[in-house]
Amino acid sequence: MPETHDDGRVAVYLDFDNIVMSWYDRVHGRNSYSRDRARIAENPQDPEIADRLSRAMVDVGAVIDYSASYGTLVLTRAYADWSSPVNAIYRQQLVARAVDLVQLFPAAAYAKNGADIRLAVDAVEDMFRLPDLTHVVIVAGDSDYVPLAQRCRRLGRYVVGVGVAGSTAKSLAAACDEFEPYDSLPGVQLPAKPAAKAKTDDRGESADKAEGAKDATKAAGAEAKDDAEPKAKPRTRRASKSKPAEEPETFLAFDETPPEDLHAAASRLLERALRVGQGKGDDAGWLHSSAVKQHIRRMDPSFSEKALGYRSFSDFLKSREDLAELEETGHERLVRLKA
């Protein structure tokens, strides 16, 4: 969690379609929203679709509360086509948090909605209209926002990015002063995978019925020859055929990097930060862990120990005992590169 800035004045801009689609893919697997888009548009009240949408609900409050930790929220805008059923279910939640809903009308059914252009124009205008803005929070994952982040920084604003792990461009994270994965925000948890259940669609039911009838015929013909065998064989084969094929898990870490590569990259960042800090620390090479983390975040704003599975930066350091030596005295935590 970032340090609270009592005198900060914060503007928050949400590319809402981007965050909703990215989180849907994060929960249900890569490209899930593209596969379900037609069914969602046709009948969002369908029990299966409604359940998938419910499990992939975005916690807008978590984003706003995180943004408020930087200072007073001067304005909060969310850009989307609010006539879409997927976005409409959030309207009450957003209005309750005093979010300004900006309506976008897509030119075609599956066309790009132009949120990036409208959001960028409004953000630049706000920075000149409100010169006291100190922080800009961009909630998106599209690399199209890189020029906006760079311009905000050139105009002296502290830029914070928030995006879904696995769907955020690495270039956008690097363009921000600080980047926080939506997955690691306080209160946000990836829903547990539902228990596997047999298919109930028409094709699945007809297939099961046909298979059952076929097995019953075989069992009746073989009953006179062998009483024990016919009951076991059809039941076993039917179970194996009717069992639905589970869609492989495709939850990816940041920038679609496999977890083992992500951990290796974090270790390299830690080693580099410790080596750089050695020349600036005391003779023994000890550095404050908070300064080391700050340096790592400067090198890679997308770094997050929570995304790696650790509760705190200290836990992350302890897991790298072959690389870093940690010394805790009271509330002070010192770290140095292991010889």
pLDDT at 244 over 70: no
Number of H helices, E strands in the chain: 14, 9
Which of the following CATH numbers is that of domain 9-184: 3.40.50.300, 3.40.50.1010, 3.50.50.60, 3.40.50.1480? 3.40.50.1010
Residue 245 has pLDDT above 70, yes or no: no
**Tokens standing for 22?**
């990215």
d(CA 35, CA 32): 5
C-alpha 197/C-alpha 282 separation (Å) is 61
Mean pLDDT, residues 176-195 taken together: 84
Q: What is the pLDDT of residue 252?
A: 41
Q: Are strands 287-288 and 332-337 parallel, antiparallel or unpaired?
A: antiparallel
Task: Find, among 188, 173, 150, the residue nearest to 66 by Cα.
Answer: 188
Query: What distance in Å separates the CA atoms of residue 279 and residue 295, rounded to the nearest whole number?
Result: 14
Per-residue DSSP letters for 40-65? Answer: HHH-TTSHHHHHHHHHT---HHHHHH
Q: What pLDDT band is residue 155 in, cutting at 50, 70 and 90?
A: very high
Q: What is the pLDDT of residue 28?
A: 92
Q: Token pair for residue 338?
A: 């292991």
Q: Tell me the mean pLDDT in the region 297-314.
A: 87
- pLDDT class of 2 with cuts at 50, 70, 90: very low
* Residue 327 to residue 339: CA distance in whole angstroms: 15
Q: Where is pLDDT greater, at 320 or 253? A: 320
**Residue of 190 and 5 predicted with greater confidence:** 190
pLDDT at 321 over 60: yes
Give pLDDT tens digits for 157-184: 999 999 998 888 999 999 999 999 998 8
Return left, alpha or beta for 29; rule: phi > 0 is left, psi -120 to 50 is alpha, else beta.
left
The answer to which of 42-51, 139-148, 200-209, 244-253 has the lowest mean pLDDT is 244-253
What's the whole-number average pLDDT of the chain? 80
pLDDT tens-digit map of 327-338: 888 788 899 998
Bigger pLDDT: 100 vs 240: 100
Q: How sure is the predictor about 208, in pLDDT bands with cuts at 50, 70 and 90?
A: low
Put simply, whether the predicted model's pTM sits higher than 0.75 gets the answer no
Does 38 or 201 have the greater pLDDT score?
38
Q: Which CATH architecture has domain 254-337?
A: 2-Layer Sandwich (3.30)
Q: Exposed (0-12), middle (13-18) or buried (19+): which is 107, by Cβ within 10 Å?
A: exposed
pLDDT (tens digit per residue) in 80-118: 989 888 888 898 889 988 999 999 887 555 555 578 899
pLDDT at residue 88, rounded to an integer? 86
- The pLDDT of residue 247 is 43
71-80, 205-214, 312-321: lowest mean pLDDT where?
Answer: 205-214
Q: Residue 313: count other Cβ atoms within 10 Å of its Cβ.
A: 19
In this model, does residue 199 exceed pLDDT 60?
A: no
Q: What is the pLDDT of residues 8-27, one digit of tens each?
A: 899 999 999 999 999 999 99
- Binning pLDDT at 50, 70 and 90, where does residue 69 land? confident
CB atoms within 10 A of CB 60: 20
Grade residue 272 by pLDDT with cuts at 50, 70 and 90: confident
Per-domain residue ranges of the chain: 9-184, 205-242, 254-337
